[in-house]
Structure 1
Amino acid sequence: MRVLILRCGDTPVPADLPGTVLNVPAIPGRRDLKLLDAAAADLLPTDPTPSLDEISAQPDVPHLGTPGRAPQAGHLPEPLRVIVAGSDAALSAVLTRMMRGDYLWAEVGLVPVGESSVARNWGLEQVDAWQVALNGAANPVPLIRSDLGIALAGSATIRSWDDGEFTGEIIVDDQVLVRHEARDGIHFNGVFGARLVPMVDAPGIAAVRATAPEKLSLTWREKIAHRLTGSSLLDPDSLATGRAVQAGGPSLAVTIDGVRHKRPLERVTFYRHLRDLQAIRP
């Protein structure tokens, strides 16, 4: 097995790790991941399995059901294991590069740094993440991406650009999660967009409605009411799952793994990629 360990930023790593340690920025870019591209090309110079175009032309696209093992595995001289020691944003950057390079057949592990939705989603919070990443088995999970060409690792939010009440519509497959026009003077228990996370099984995406601003600032009266009503930042009863999430509105703020898109959008779509991610998790 060929192991590449991406040390993102100043993340501490143990000494004498098996494999090759690459020092990259906290959120690596394309140039920082050239050695990852090269390793994938070395192990699989030509992919003999169906291309993305051929997969999308299939009438039933069966892989959009239960996630499956990468068909390229039987054509590799040895597996390629990529371990990201860093944040969810770092993992998103690595997955984005792998998705664009079309080598999601590589196994991917995470040693999380700081708050991590991926750690919760993959069950890494109560285990030795290094032990899992180095010795655990790869299990296929859906890879969720945006129409901006960015892979979603842990969580994303769709909100109003000014963090006020949401105006617009958010749909999960054919189910309306949010359809709302902003009102004045609402500070909590309102409609503030949605939060979505990748699932580890089909259909791929779970989303809930947000009921408070992202940067919540309550007066003392509101804090008391907040405690009395038991309201939270998210509405768990609104949970919807699907293969795609589509949103439209006059000024959307889209944040993927903590990285906010640099300008407001009028529409965005998240959907399940045509290839699954081979995630190393318990």
Structure 2
Amino acid sequence: MSRLVLLACPDAGPAVDNGSPRPLVRLPARPGREDVDPVLAEYEPRRIAVAGTDADLAAVLLRLLRTERLDIEVAYLPAAASPATRAWGLPTGRAGADLADSGTAGPVPLVRDDGGGVLVGRGEVRDLTGESYCDEVLVLRGPTRRLVVVPGPDGIAVRAGWSGRAPDGRVRPVPPKARAGRGSALGRAVQVGGRPFTVVADGVEHPRPLPRRTWYRHTADWLLVRP
């Protein structure tokens, strides 16, 4: 069993140190079952550090979920600041590498979607005309250019607006009887429905327009190494 295994994807940053005694495994971008599962079985790591993009981190976390290995601690070594580093308050560069080695992991919300994926940094619904609820709070009725969903320590934050600015966790509901409106909220689940719209999750655009999308907090947390 290895204490820490470094999983380096193609966009890994300079924090990846080939001279380190820890095992280093090179993976493709957005690694899948055939890439990640054999590594987990071979090394049986107590902790993994994912070097790459938010989409790479989400792909690895999905494999931990699918293989019932959410007890493995996860550190993140992005090449630069990203929606995930901002959502979880993570450092980058040398500080991120030091944290991966010596930081403490704790449970944080695991956000899934109804398409079988997970979200670690930022989800977007673009050019939407429809409705959206966060739990029982109405956050959109009518048109909006962007609806942004961000996971975090307190749950799932959502904001509808024209600028695409990330939500701040404040609850600003749309009045139930309003014909149109855009608001924000924080909760356990976000449901979106309307005319077919574009979904982008952790920088990856869904291959086709969707008429609905749900993000929700999983029943179990994941273990993230944080400051």
Which of the five TM-score ranges fits, normalised by the shorter chain?
Answer: 0.7 to 0.9
Q: Counterpart of 1:280?
A: 225
2:149–2:166 Cα contact (<8 Å) kept? no
Q: Counterpart of 2:158?
A: 207
Q: Helix, strand or coil for the counterpart of 2:145?
A: coil
Return the alpha-carbon distance in structure 1 between the equivalents of residues 208 and 196 of structure 2.
9
Q: Counterpart of 2:89?
A: 123
Q: Deviations over 1:152-198 (max 9, x none)?
A: 111101123xxxxx211111001111110x4xxxxxxxx22311111
**CA apart distance, 1:115:** 4.1
Q: Deviations over 1:122-177 (max 9, x none)?
A: 222377000001110001100001011111111101123xxxxx211111001111
Return the alpha-carbon distance in structure 2 between the equivalents of residues 10 and 274 of structure 1.
31
Q: TM-score normalized by structure 2?
A: 0.85
Q: CA 1:98–1:234 in structure 2 vs 1: closer, same or farther (change >3 Å)?
A: closer
Return the alpha-carbon distance in structure 2 between the equivalents of residues 116 and 260 of structure 1.
16
Q: CA 1:179–1:243 in structure 2 vs 1: closer, same or farther (change >3 Å)?
A: same
* Greater Cα radius of gyration, structure 1 or 2: 1
Q: Counterpart of 2:105?
A: 138
**CA apart distance, 1:18:** 3.5
**CA apart distance, 1:272:** 0.5
Match of 1:254 among 174, 195, 199: 199
Q: Give unpaired runs (5+ residues) of structure 2.
A: 173-182
RMSD: 2.0
Q: TM-score normalized by structure 1?
A: 0.69
The structure whose residues are more often helix, as a share, is 1
Return the alpha-carbon distance in structure 2 between the equivalents of residues 10 and 167 of structure 1.
35
Match of 2:119 among 152, 170, 186: 152
Q: Deviations over 1:27-59 (max 9, x none)?
A: 2122111323414xx85xxxxxxxxxxxxxxxx
1:30-109 to 2 correspondences below 5 Å: 30-39=33-42, 43=44, 80-109=46-75
**CA apart distance, 1:235:** 7.2
User: Which has the larger displacement, 85-94 or 123-132?
Assistant: 123-132
Q: Counterpart of 1:198?
A: 151
Q: Helix, strand or coil for the counterpart of 1:99?
A: helix
Letter in 2 for 1:207: V
Q: Give unpaired runs (5+ residues) of structure 1.
A: 44-78, 161-165, 183-190, 215-232
Letter in 2 for 1:2: R
1:170 paired to 2:125:
no
Q: Counterpart of 2:209?
A: 264
The structure whose residues are more often strand, as a share, is 2
1:109–1:279 Cα contact (<8 Å) kept? yes
2:88–2:152 Cα contact (<8 Å) kept? no
The percentage of aligned residue pairs carrying the same residue is 40
Q: Helix, strand or coil for the counterpart of 1:36?
A: helix
Number of residue pairs aligned between Structure 1 and Structure 2 = 210
1:132–1:280 Cα contact (<8 Å) kept? yes
Return the alpha-carbon distance in structure 1 between the equivalents of residues 98 and 88 of structure 2.
14
Letter in 2 for 1:118: A
